[in-house]
Amino acid sequence: MNKTIAIIPARGGSKRIPQKNIKLLGDLPLIVHSIIYAKENKAIIDEVYVSTDDPEIKKVALQFGVKVIDRPESISGDLEPTASALKHVLENIDSKEIENVVLLQPTNPLRPDNLLREAFEKFQMENRDSLFTVSRNHQKFGKISDNKFIPFNYTFGQRSQDLEPLYFENGLLYITKKALILNDIIISENALPFEVNHIFAQVDIDTQDDLDYAKYLCQKK
């Protein structure tokens, strides 16, 4: 049996919003939105793991019935890549039957209900080793050099609707083969970009303003 697991990496040391991952969003701690999303997709996800170095986050995760892997301090720093936390989980569980890992970041708590189902279907159909979600950006970008603005993706006077499409990695969802993660890779060179044009793709919680915006969307939802 080839299993698919979800891993939710949640460090305790957030500087801009202390204890960010367990701040309330609606009636639930932030991390719980991703836990519930994983559990609602049990047709795809066989087991859910939270990787954390924080006892309070661990307590919340256990209350909501998922497995917790204690992340060592050595891979819990600000500059540590997410891949190391995922790899650590795989190395500390029986991963023989696991084929795929779904990464759900707690800082992207709002996801369209059918997102994982549609993305996983495409992932399997295209036979790729990784998938990540992207959204189209409609802004006019440029850089400032010698006090002059140099357009990057347009020419002055060009209409927004005529821009060549640019996309950004929105962080909502990642699906990766276990073998890649064991090599410290989440997004491979042949990764499938899965387009999501939904208001939830604009939510990535790093500041208090981001959290307030997510609360506003939660109320509307």
| CA 131 – CA 124 distance, rounded (Å) | 10
Q: For residue 219, what pLDDT is reported?
A: 87
For residue 95, is pLDDT > 90? yes
Q: For the chain, what are the domain ranges?
A: 3-220
Q: What share of the chain is helix, strand, coil (3-state, %, to 5)?
A: 35, 25, 40
Cα 19 to Cα 32: distance, rounded to the nearest angstrom: 14
pLDDT band (50, 70, 90) for residue 133: very high
Report the C-alpha gap between 10 and 19 in whole angstroms. Answer: 10
Q: How many CB atoms lie within 10 A of CB 155?
A: 9
Would the pLDDT of 18 be above 90? Answer: no
Distance CA 87, CA 104 (A): 15
Q: Is the pLDDT score of 50 beyond 80?
A: yes
* CB neighbourhood size of 177 (10 A): 18
Determine which helix (DSSP H) or strand (DSSP E) holds 146, and give its type and residue range: none
Residue 83 clears pLDDT 90, i.e. is over it:
yes
Q: Which architecture characterizes domain 3-220 according to CATH?
A: Alpha-Beta Complex (3.90)
pLDDT tens track for 170-198? 999 999 999 999 999 999 999 999 999 99
4-17 pLDDT, tens per residue?
999 999 998 777 78
Q: How far apart are CA 201 and CA 221, in angstroms?
A: 14
Q: Is the pLDDT of residue 220 over 90?
A: no
